[in-house]
Amino acid sequence: MAFTFFSSSLLAVNKFTRKTTLYFLRPLASVSKNVQKDDLPKRPKKPLSSFFEYLQNNRHDIITNNPGISSCDVVRRCAEMYRNLSEADKKILKDKTSERLEVYKQQCKAFKDSLTPEQNIAIQEINRKKREKRAKRKRKELERKYSRPKHPMNAYAIFTRASKVERGNTPFVEFSKKLANMWKTMPADEKAIYLEEARLERERYAEEIIDWEYVMIDAGRPEFVRGYRKAKRALSQTKRKSKAKTRTKLKAKSRKRRSMKNKATQTSAENKATQTSTKSMGTQTSTKSKTTQTS
């Protein structure tokens, strides 16, 4: 029940706007614009593993001895040869790779030490963009795999698709300019046909995407639902806040207990001190009375 409620609430959430992320990343972008990619020093390349080093050394011999062999078969043949190597030969290859890795670690350390703060920020920005591109490409591949409905075309895109003007040998830029001028000078009644078709496309997409999202939720892939990340982030933030609140409450309770214990120990110590003082006073008075009686 909770999962279905959560999934239905996700469908109601609008698309996530990236204004907040752009606000926080704007200073980094301004710094990275000043430092160009060509000005950055090249990072040292990671050395090959023992198998790939063996493959690189024996690739040419395998191809010459087996003409017309495919690249996959070359890798398979080389893997078989590598498996049949003796332990001593494998140890030699592994020792060489470990030596190369040690050199690579020293080079990386020297590379990081030689970077200026601006270059470091620019490299972080480049790596962030690469990660975003990789994640976007992976997401698109998965969406294609699960046959996500295509986004609707706008009225101009529908016009260009349905346009009967043949491009011929004209360059693409001139052809696109020609189509844009035709769209601008088109009468309103003709343009209304394409606008109506675009509206129908949007309605069709809205229905199909909701059905597809429900299918993804049933398949256990809620990350494809629009607004899932935003809702998940908000949920994690609320959990974090609640944990912080409980932590502060527990700390306050422990402080209160400690203070109460300290007060109790202080009062007990004071009571013991008063008791000992009264006892000492009583003993002093008893000794005084005994001395007066003997005298």
Is the residue at 67 inside a domain?
Answer: yes
Count of structural domains, the chain = 1
Secondary structure of residue 16 in the 3-state scheme? coil
Positive or negative, the Cα torsion across 218, 221, 222, 227? negative
Helix axes 155-162, 172-184, angle to 10 degrees: 120
Is the residue at 106 inside a domain?
Answer: yes
CATH number of residue 66's parent domain: 1.10.30.10
Is the residue at 29 inside a domain?
Answer: no
Is the residue at 53 inside a domain?
Answer: yes
pTM confidence score: 0.46
Is the residue at 160 inside a domain?
Answer: no
Per-position pLDDT tens, the chain of length 295: 444 434 444 444 343 334 444 444 444 444 445 556 667 888 889 898 999 989 988 898 888 888 888 889 989 999 999 999 999 989 999 999 999 999 999 999 998 888 888 888 888 898 899 999 998 898 888 888 888 888 899 999 988 888 766 777 778 888 888 889 999 999 999 999 999 999 999 999 999 988 888 888 888 888 778 777 666 666 666 767 677 777 777 777 778 788 887 877 887 777 777 777 666 666 666 665 555 555 5
Is the residue at 81 inside a domain?
Answer: yes
Is the residue at 179 inside a domain?
Answer: no
Distance CA 161, CA 194 (A): 11
Residues 6+ away with beta carbon under 8 Å from 278: none
Q: Which domain holds residue 97?
A: 42-114
Distance CA 213, CA 201 (A): 18
Is the residue at 292 inside a domain?
Answer: no
